[in-house]
Every structure is written in structure tokens, then in C-alpha cells.
Amino acid sequence: MPPASKYDEEGAALRTLSRQEDSKYIAADRSSDRAKRMTASSHRTRRDRYNHYVILLAQEFKEQTISREFTIKRLAREKHNWFAHCECSWRLAHNSRLTLCSHQGEHARQFHDRALHPAALLVVTYGC
């Protein structure tokens, strides 16, 4: 599950900032000082930006949850095909405790080639 508590914390922090900017906006908008009234639009813009980020954060959480569910289902479907060609890996996968195998290094390479590497190609990375 995506870290819902972290999403909640960030959403609450953004909503707090939004409320602070809203009170600054209201105070500036109602001020008798012309210079202070001129700052009202910048406070309104910040408030709107915070509110927009709250919406984006909620959308991201939904997308992450859906993506995670899809990935779990896909892994459940595909895990039996990863080492279908190797008899000893079947015993490792169906044994209740981990046993050492003489082909352990080969299994690690095959796991990387057949599971991790293809999955990494599908992952979208930001900021690279």
C-alpha cells in the first residue's frame, strides 16, 4: 500500500498553509491600507496553488494505489513463469523454508534478467 499516512501528513500540511494564506488574503483584502490591499492577490494566488497541490496529491495517491494493485496482480500471474525452466527453483518456491541450492547464483541472475530488469523498464522515473 502506498504510504497513506505520509500522504495524509502532506495533505494536512498543505491545507494548513492554504488556511494561513486565506486568512492573510482576507486581512489584506479588507485592509484600509492601499499597499496592504495590493498584496491580497499574491495571497490568493498562493492559497489557490496550495489547494491545487492538495488535489494533485489526492489524485497521485489514487493512481499509486491502482498501480500497486495492478502490479500485485501481474506479479501473482507471472511469478510461476519466471523459473519454470529450472526444476530446483520450483522446489525452492514451494518449500516452506529456504534451502540452499547449487544454482543460487544462476537463480539470482535469472531473477534479475526475467523479473527485475523488465519491471524496471516499465517504471516511470521523475527528475532524472
Burial of 21 (0-12, 13-18, 19+ CB in 10 A): buried
- Whether 42 and 68 map to the same domain: the answer is yes
Domain count of the fold of the chain? 2
- Whether 92 and 105 map to the same domain: the answer is yes
Given a contact cutoff of 8 angstroms between Cβ atoms, the answer to whether 57 and 11 are in contact is yes
Q: What is the pLDDT along the chain (128 residues), one digit of tens a residue?
A: 558 889 999 999 999 999 999 999 999 999 999 999 999 999 999 999 999 999 999 999 999 889 888 888 887 787 776 656 555 544 444 444 445 455 556 666 777 676 766 666 666 554 44
- Whether 15 and 50 map to the same domain: the answer is yes
- Whether 60 and 106 map to the same domain: the answer is no
Secondary structure, 3-state, the chain: CCCHHHHHHHHHHHHHHHHHHHHHHHHHHCCCCHHHHHCHHHHHHHHHHHHHHHHHHHHHHHHHHHHHHHHHHHHHHHHHHHCCCCHHHHHHHHCCCCCCCCCHHHHHHHHHHHHHHHHHHHCCCCCC
- Whether 70 and 96 map to the same domain: the answer is no
Q: Domain range spanning residue 94? A: 83-128
